[in-house]
Amino acid sequence: MKKLVDIVEKLRSPGGCPWDQKQTHSSLIPYLLEETWEVINEIEKDNVEHSLKEELGDLLLQIVLHAQIASEHGRFTIDDVVDAISEKMVHRHPHVFKTGNNELSEKELGQQWKKLKAEEKKHSPVKDSLINGAPSLMNALAISKKAAGMGFDWDSAWDVLLKVEEELDEIRQEMKAGNVDKIEEEIGDLLFTITNLARFYRISPEIALKKGNDKFLRRFDSLELAINEAEKTGRKLSKDELEELWQKTKA
């Protein structure tokens, strides 16, 4: 770790690399996101032995770069980052580091984690959960977690599902009325509620949507090929033909 920190410090120092020297916390955001998604991609492809190791290194580089920039401004160092997360993890796992009670159920562990996390941030309002620039689904999850941690939550996932159905009914009503602004509002409510449904199962809505996108693209490949082939002959596939192809692809 020290080897990497020393390398980054030299890259940022006078006589180092001009590209690294000009980077800021803000300018590195696209690279941080890109490297995070590349790590996720390798995990999903199960390329654990080789590619994942490389991508984790690329992601670690981003963390060290941010720490180095902060260090140059006298804010914190990489050691402070490691100390802070170490202290947090020990505090949030008293059953491992303090009481030695390793027989807690998964539900009890979840309740303990939420309680300890809430104590750490008990003075911060829900709106502080927002992450500027983050995808809206990610922020919806952060907001709902904070609200749930303060006791504002459904009793079960089934209750959330009932709310999803209620939101769908409201969309139907606005569609019948042709009120586009209200349709947008109700779709937002539906997405927020679905995010809460995902939270009950500890599912990231962002990851779930990514997987949904990937599944659609895989299935659409054969349709796209058929559409292009038909267009070459001057023909346009009918909706019935496309639906038949779609069902075959799903099967």
In this predicted model, what pLDDT tens digit does every residue of 90-149 receive, in sequence order?
988 888 888 777 777 777 777 777 777 767 666 567 787 777 778 899 899 999 988 888
**What global pTM score does this model have?**
0.63
> 149 Cβ partners below 8 Å, 6+ apart?
114, 117, 118
Please give the domain boundaries of the chain with CATH numbers for all domains: 2-91 (1.10.287.1080), 124-203 (1.10.287.1080), 208-250 (no CATH)
> 189 Cβ partners below 8 Å, 6+ apart?
167, 170
**pLDDT, tens only, 9-24:** 999 999 999 999 999 9
> What tokens were used for 200?
């009950």
